[in-house]
Structure 1
Amino acid sequence: MIKALKVTAISFFLFLNLCFSQEKRAKDITLEIVDKVLKNNSYAKLLISNNSSYNYYLPILNSVDSEKWNFMLPTNETSFFLVHMIVYNFNNENLSWQSNNCFDEDVDPISRSFDEKWMQKKKSIKIEDFILLKAGQKKVINVPINLQVKLSNDCFWEIKDYKNEKELKVSYYYRKKQEELESLFLSSEILNKLKQLNYKLYNLKIESNKVNLILQ
């Protein structure tokens, strides 16, 4: 009985220690929108700060195609490679995206073209494509703000009913990463280079501050 209590106490202590460690690590990397006000069809300045003593990499592909890839790629890949814009209404409710004609058969050639571009990009990914943050380092990236994203003449995605809202706020979200996806999505050459440079994947979720958005 006493032995069982000791095992339980040790397990509980290890659990608390793990929770504390994860809570501390959750603040290792922070995202902050530095603009006081945002405008639709423009860019947000997103400050990414490494507050830790470790070197981290964030596999954010901030390219001209990344915004459109967000709507065309499998969930696992968008979760791993992209930072996501979240839009809130006056009641602080998260507004969802909706599509128009994007699942029509006529759009298939557009979809295939995005797939082909993505496959080409995945083959040519370099570590310089990612956000590399040494201990204590900060970087600013420009992220597009578009409440409607046009993929083709017949296919676009937009935030549902955003024109009817009194007020909108925007934040950016870095999703929690599954570490096993590293070896699935990244070549052994990239992984070895990151290891040699002493960078490790930041795999915890982060959400930035919320900033008011002006519609144009």
Structure 2
Amino acid sequence: MAKIIDRAKYKIVIMGDSDVGKSSLVKRFVEDAWSDEKPANQSKGVYVTKEITVNNQTIKFEIVDLAFDVEATASDFSGAKGCIAVFDYSSPDTIQNVRNFLGIADRFVSDDGFLRCIIGNKADMEKKVEESVIETIKTSLNVSKVYECSAKTGTGVKEMFEDIAKSLIEQNAPVDNNKGKKGNKAKKEKKRGCLLL
């Protein structure tokens, strides 16, 4: 059994159009469950936590699930290390709107180490988003990774969050308490992102 040498907390904000499956993705990740019923208090947004272990480190995700019709504020992004913009793979219009959601994040966060991701949900349904469109947005937003994801079946969800955790560990280099300051590493100079489908 691997020895856990550190524990880090990473706040991330998840955004997207109505009905793209933001809350379903969070539910699948946190509870490994899915429901076709809309969550209560959908208009208020949700705050949840989940711990996972990657690279011998326990990572505690603090997830702010912003509802579509809630105006984002600086407090939503205060202390956040990354954001996720979700689109629906079966709804072509939603892929274009991720630009707006990532733009909201950029309005509140100027940290070069801030992780900006896009998730394409509902990959279990008929895919109506063309690969050329995905590639264009991937290039224009300077993101590097592409995954398919389905909150309903669970495909790719766990792997997605594990990948995000690894990226956050690398970019934020949490202190190894056993080594003190020697455990610190320089932050990445270039802003990185990932496109998660």
TM-score by length of 1: 0.26
TM-score by length of 2: 0.28
**Rg larger in 1 or in 2?**
1
The structure with more helix, counted as a fraction of residues: 1
